[in-house]
Amino acid sequence: MSTAMDTQAPVVETDEEFRARLRAFLTEHHPGKRPRDAVERLAWQKRWRATLFDAGFAGPSWPREYGGMDLSFRRQVIYQEEYNRARVPGPQGTGLGIAAPTIITYGTEEQKRRWLRPMLRGDKVWAQGYSEPEAGSDLHALRTTARLEGDHYVVNGQKVWNTYADIADVLFCLVRTGTPESRQHGITYLIVDARAPGVTVRPLRDLTGAVHFSEIFLENVRVPVTDRVGEENDGWRLARTSLGHERAAGAMNQAALYRRVLDELIALAEERGLAADAVVRDRLAQFEIRVRLMRSNAMRTIDTIRTHGEPGPASSTSRLFITTFEQDLHEFAVDMLGADALLTREDPGAVQRGRWINGFLSTRASTIGAGTSEIQRNTIAEQVLGLPHDPAMPS
């Protein structure tokens, strides 16, 4: 005989219960202070990614079959809000937000099984190999070649401005398999072992004095044909997917991050007795409006992905909006601090360890990386607003 207990519906967790459970996990398992030593820091980040994965808290938008959470749109927003609030380390490498959506969409089942879970768990660090010395925003002009020899491609060329390449285990690269004149029609998407013979990585120092980028030299690097994603010469279509998802994922992350950063800037203005200044208050109010718009636009982009599977050209709107915002925010911060803003983290008298001048310097390149602001404006004009197409640009 069945009882009322037998037929009782399972308890469904509410959004706020999910938020509380996630917040409790992030608090209880917080990895602690970020190590200064680079080797220790990487091990610390990897341990954290493994902790998240093993507990079922990794990959909020990923399918469950590849280790993700497959969260609803609303819960992805909650996840990003709580993750940034907790001040825990983000993923090392650029694979999660860029390569993974491409592999999930275009990869074979064998490729998905081989690459996705180790990437999500942090066992393997992935880095992007797109830009070249003479092919950044003009990406379809890239010159790195891949010549087919039997069941391998032989890759030769150079990549530059590669984030995380110095610690990467795997590179996802665009290479030219067509003629130099083939432009976007002769590009192929390859996954390259970063430790393979012929791969050389050299760090590049930026304005802040730190090393955030590298250049990669590829000399007769042999890549199995089985490590090609999609068809030969169809890499441009895959790259557009990668870049669209990069901007979409970045939009939500940045919206949550800059919600916290702006709150901290407002607190700093109050601490220094500047919150009553009419000009300061006006600028802070403008930033408040822009942070809220950033969040709304990011939510719209994520909803577009869940509905259509792709972020679409509107992702360029988020990218352009965020890069100009973070430049304006840090420029205002150093103006507000005056001469005190000139002290860097090495100076014991630096305000908040020089974070604002460091942010000011590092965001100077924001409107260049991941597609210049000019490229974003072109995309918005042509593909969002429907203005005439620039014949020099690929369709």
Task: Please state which of the ranges 59-68, 185-194, 376-385 shows the lowest mean pLDDT.
Answer: 376-385
The answer on pLDDT for 370 being more than 70 is no
Give 183's pLDDT tier (boundaries 50, 70, 90).
confident
Q: Alpha carbon of 281 to those of 175, 278, 285, 292, 334: distances in Å?
A: 50, 5, 6, 17, 15
**What is d(CA 351, CA 316) in angstroms, rounded to the nearest whole number?**
34
- In a domain, residue 246? The reply is yes
- In a domain, residue 197? The reply is yes
Give catalytic residues, as residue numbers. Answer: 246
Looking at 173, 203, 232, the residue that finishes a domain is 232
Average pLDDT of span 245-274: 80
The answer on pLDDT for 140 being more than 60 is yes
- Higher-confidence residue of 181 and 245: namely 181
128 plus 53 within the same structural domain: no
Task: Please state which of the ranges 122-126, 195-199, 356-360 shows the lowest mean pLDDT.
Answer: 356-360
205 plus 276 within the same structural domain: no
- In a domain, residue 128? The reply is yes
Contact 221, 196 (CB under 8 A): yes
Average pLDDT of span 74-102: 87
pLDDT at 36: 85
**What is d(CA 292, CA 251) in angstroms, rounded to the nearest whole number?**
12
142 plus 279 within the same structural domain: no
The answer on pLDDT for 321 being more than 90 is no
Bridge partners (DSSP) of residue 384 are none
381 plus 248 within the same structural domain: yes
158 plus 266 within the same structural domain: no
**How many structural domains is the chain composed of?**
3
CA geometry: angle at 184 spanning 97 and 227, to 5°? 55
| Cα 257 off chain centre by | 13
Domain of 60, in residue numbers:
16-90
pLDDT at 298: 78
**What is d(CA 195, CA 197) in angstroms, rounded to the nearest whole number?**
7
68 plus 141 within the same structural domain: no
Top-confidence range, 10-14, 243-247, 257-261, 376-380: 257-261
261 plus 368 within the same structural domain: yes
Mean pLDDT of the chain, nearest integer: 86
Strands (E), 43-197: 126-129, 145-149, 152-163, 170-176, 187-193
21 plus 85 within the same structural domain: yes
- What confidence tens digit (pLDDT) does each residue in 15-25 have? 999 999 999 99
- In a domain, residue 2? The reply is no
252 plus 279 within the same structural domain: yes
- In a domain, residue 152? The reply is yes
67 plus 47 within the same structural domain: yes
Give 52's pLDDT tier (boundaries 50, 70, 90).
very high
364 plus 261 within the same structural domain: yes
Per-residue burial over 101-114, b if 16 or more Cβ lie within 10 Å, else e, is: bbbbebbeeebbeb
- In a domain, residue 378? The reply is yes
- In a domain, residue 267? The reply is yes
Percentage of the chain lying above the pLDDT 70 cut: 87
61 plus 188 within the same structural domain: no
pLDDT at 2: 47
pLDDT at 146: 97
Q: What is the CATH number of the domain that holds 133?
A: 2.40.110.10
- Higher-confidence residue of 85 and 153: namely 153
pLDDT at 137: 67
Looking at 232, 263, 283, the residue that finishes a domain is 232
The answer on pLDDT for 166 being more than 80 is yes
